[in-house]
Chains A and B, each alone.
Chain A
Amino acid sequence: DVKVTQSSRYLVKRTGEKVFLECVQDMDHENMFWYRQDPGLGLRLIYFSYDVKMKEKGDIPEGYSVSREKKERFSLILESASTNQTSMYLCASSFRGTPTDTQYFGPGTRLTVL
């Protein structure tokens, strides 16, 4: 079974803090993704990576950065957290080389910025 884990289920931070959200997958997937999920807006893609040290902006990259130093780990960084970044953050991964683009999701991190 594919396993995608996220470092925290719940996180509370203060405005201006630097926040790291970590995601690890154990299936040697090339592609990794970060989404945020907000009520009424569904999933919005922040950043994705299709290889180590490679990153691409998604639909809403502003205020975020990412790091992919190892294949299994994809980190989302909020350089200076703001209240409008309070959200559920979902990490996903997928294997390149199969006909489908099935993504496997972690359990999510609910971040609250005060």
Chain B
Amino acid sequence: GEDVEQSLFLSVREGDSSVINCTYTDSSSTYLYWYKQEPGAGLQLLTYIFSNMDMKQDQRLTVLLNKKDKHLSLRIADTQTGDSAIYFCAESIAGLMNYGGSQGNLIFGKGTKLSVKP
């Protein structure tokens, strides 16, 4: 079945770049997502990338997609202590089309806890 894999922990120093990696299995995924979860809070959408793109940049965030290897990465430039959080990779799955639309299901990785040291 579908699966999304991420490493569980990453520690960086403030000002360095962080790279969080993710692999997925469903080659029919249309969109891939990065969500951020701050302590005690719900998940917040950071960015997403369409599967026919290789790269997407949004301020300090760069998403790279290698569709051949089914590998997704999130790079955070100039990492700040406020970036400390859990980052989840997710893929949309090719679900059934009901009532004119998809079911909208996402498969999430287990999350990577990013710790930023001053």
Residues of A at the B interface (CB closer than 8 Å) are 4, 30-31, 40-43, 45, 48, 50-51, 56, 90, 92, 94, 96-97, 99-108
Contact = CB atoms under 8 A, between A and B. Distances in A.
A50 B88 contact: no
Contacts of A48: 103, 105
B31 A43 contact: no
A97 B101 contact: yes
B105 A45 contact: yes
Contacts of A100: 30-31, 48, 92
Nearest to A35: B108
Name which of B41, B42, B111 has the most chain A CB atoms within 10 A of its CB.
B42
Interface residues of B, number: 28
Contacts, number: 72
B108 A42 contact: yes
A42 B42 contact: no
A11 B28 CA distance: 39
Contacts of A106: 42
B43 interface: yes
Given A40-B8, A51-B99, A97-B101, A104 B106 contact: no
Given A42-B111, A96-B104, A102 B42 contact: no
A41 B43 contact: no
A84 to B, nearest CB: 19
Given A50-B103, A108-B42, 12 more contacts: A31-B104, A40-B8, A42-B88, A42-B108, A43-B88, A50-B99, A90-B42, A99-B31, A100-B92, A101-B30, A105-B44, A107-B42
